[in-house]
A = this chain, B = another copy of it.
Amino acid sequence: MLNLFFYNLFFYNLYSFCIFLEINHKQVLMGKRLTLKDIAKEFNVSIATVSKAIQDKHDISSDLKKKILAYALENNYVPNQNALKLRGKQTKTIGVVIPSILNLFFAKVFAGIEKVASEHGYNLITCISNDSLDKEKIAIDMMVNGEVDGIIISVAKETQIKKDYKHFFKAMNTGVKLTMFDRVTDDVDCDKVIVDDFQGAYNATEYFVKTGCSNIALLSFISETSVGQYRIQGYKEALENNHITINKNLIIEVKEHDVDETETLLTLTLGSRKVDAILCLEETSAAIALDTIKRLGYKIPEDISIIAFTNGIITKYTTPKITTVSQHGVFMGEQSMTYLLNRLQGNHSQKEKEFTTKVIKTSLIQRQTTKKLS
């Protein structure tokens, strides 16, 4: 009753909150949470009864139930999640492992995952691998045991380079469901959601050709990743199919986001060869290219056209605005989470071991760095 009194004060008057704190000093400072046991003691009933009352089961006298429910509500009883998880099979938690969160594409995917997850009452445990194999391993190991029901991952660059996928096998072996997105690998058999990077690059390259370009360069920071490879393939194949010889000198690969290096290589290339279009494999390289090209005095898109991968935020605010290949990041996140959910809930139409690879089509968002189709 005393508790109840203070509870009311507490909710209607901030000042009394302090009094509350004073009175219950030890309890509050100890971080003691209300448990079924505490409630059972309060009402002189068994823990089982309290549990059932709180679950609003029918076989409890409605009188007792009401009292217990009211008390639990007032004292803000929340079941201990760990106890719940320990008993049940489901943790209602998903692990998310992404290379970076500062990259808007990954942030978008994350937002999509989070949206669907929270709609279904799932929590997210997040780890940023920073493209490091070690960090990815540690994260997965932590998540694997009892922490999560499933993991959504975009594989770290280092992992892809070293082709070391043991941690994924281990994880799947413990029964955790795995879904990969964007940066995936054929060596691991699981559900995957990828962007049609090949087709995206193919279409962009072909768009250049159709608008009269034939000396098409490619600028990339991410040649080591699976994604980068697919895009380069798409670029090459589009050239071939349009009877344009692939010129290795027009493929500019820079490691990491080295602005100076990019500018230097680009300036060199533009100075020594004819270039009338550049396909940039990421937003930032496109922004840097745009800046360099403007400084060198070329007209865009008349002299040089530009298309950038990833429809992020930069391309919308440059002058001129950059034409982009949109990867539909948020949608990818939603799809990844939906696939995982289906897998977890076993309502996958396919048989247990048949995994799906969902390919999301890119779309070309035409802005001001490309010529119009005639």
Contact = CB atoms under 8 A, between A and B. Distances in A.
Given A107-B102, A173-B28, A318-B317, A114 B126 contact: yes
Given A31-B174, A33-B174, A101-B107, 12 more contacts: A28-B173, A33-B145, A33-B146, A80-B86, A82-B91, A102-B104, A104-B313, A114-B126, A124-B125, A313-B314, A317-B318, A319-B319
Contacts of A104: 102, 104, 313
A111 interface: yes
Contacts of A374: none
9 residue pairs, one from A and one from B, having the closest CB atoms = A31-B175, A78-B145, A80-B146, A287-B317, A82-B85, A82-B86, A82-B146, A319-B319, A82-B82
A127 interface: yes
A321 B127 CA distance: 33
Given A101-B114, A118-B127, A79 B352 contact: no
Interface residues of A, number: 71
A281 interface: no
A107 B329 CA distance: 16
Contacts of A100: 111
A29 B177 CA distance: 10
B110 A76 contact: no
A15 to B, nearest CB: 11
Interface string A128-154: 100000010011011011110000000
Contacts of A176: 31
- How many copies, total? 2
A2 interface: no
A350 interface: no
A66 interface: no
Given A146-B33, A174-B33, A319-B318, A83 B86 contact: yes
A142 to B, nearest CB: 6
B175 A30 contact: yes
Interface in A266-298: 287, 290-291, 294
A83 B108 CA distance: 34
A294 to B, nearest CB: 7
A79 B147 CA distance: 10
Contacts of A260: none
19 contacts: A29-B352, A30-B175, A34-B174, A78-B145, A78-B174, A80-B145, A81-B142, A101-B114, A102-B108, A104-B104, A107-B107, A114-B128, A118-B127, A118-B138, A124-B126, A125-B126, A290-B317, A313-B314, A314-B317
